[in-house]
Amino acid sequence: MTRTHVVNRTVGSTCNACQEPITEDTKKLRPDGTMFPECRPCINRKRRDKLALLKETDPEAHKANRDRERERYRAIRKQFLDMHNHTCRCCGETHDEFLTLDHVNGDGAKERGGNKNGPCRAYRAAIDAGPNSPDYRCLCCNCNFAIGRYGYCPHGNLPPRNASSTNELEIPPNFTP
Ligand SMILES: [Zn+2]
Ligand SMILES: [Zn+2]
Ligand SMILES: [Zn+2]
């Protein structure tokens, strides 16, 4: 009797690490399209643990790794800014230091996975979506903040975001406008 060793993992398979079902949001694919046996949060957690250990055991290698990550982030961000002419879609701000990726539908926090997925993934998705994507745009931090908090930017150049997706009601207790 032959046994099948190859498991075709799909969404709904159990994560090898946390034993939770893997969802569309938590799956991680290899370059060949097959799925990792663990969910993305577990993969990221293991990676963080490994890095923490490396920091203790081999600070030089840890620093080199961090520099590579930083370089990778800068390159991806530059690609995104190039695509958007280094300009805020709303007010025309052109200083890179003020520019950021805006999720048109306000689901940035979800996509960042509470910052666990890192910003590279969001920039990568925005680059793949192209310069005229209805989902991603380049805004300065002022316009991004206004539309995120209030659902509109007072410059008046952006269509208002629908009320249900703004976080105006979720202002943190220590927040002072
Ligand atoms: Zn897991
Ligand atoms: Zn702006
Ligand atoms: Zn604006």
In tens, the pLDDT along 148-174 reads 999 999 999 999 987 554 444 444 445
Percent of the chain as helix, strand, coil, to the nearest 5: 45, 10, 50
Residue 31 lies in a domain: no
Ligand 2 ion: nearby residues, β-carbon < 5 Å: 88, 90-91, 93, 140, 143
Supply the range of the domain harboring residue 121. Answer: 87-166
User: Residues 52-100: pLDDT tens digits?
Assistant: 999 999 999 999 999 999 999 999 999 999 999 999 999 999 999 999 9
Q: Six-digit token pair at 116? A: 């666990």
129 CA to centre of ligand 3 in angstroms? 22
Residue 81 lies in a domain: no
Q: Which of 75-79, 110-114, 122-126 has the lowest mean pLDDT?
A: 110-114
Residue 117 lies in a domain: yes
45 CA to centre of ligand 1 in angstroms? 9
Q: Taking CA 105 as the corner, what is the angle to CA 104 and CA 109, rounded to the nearest 5 degrees? A: 100
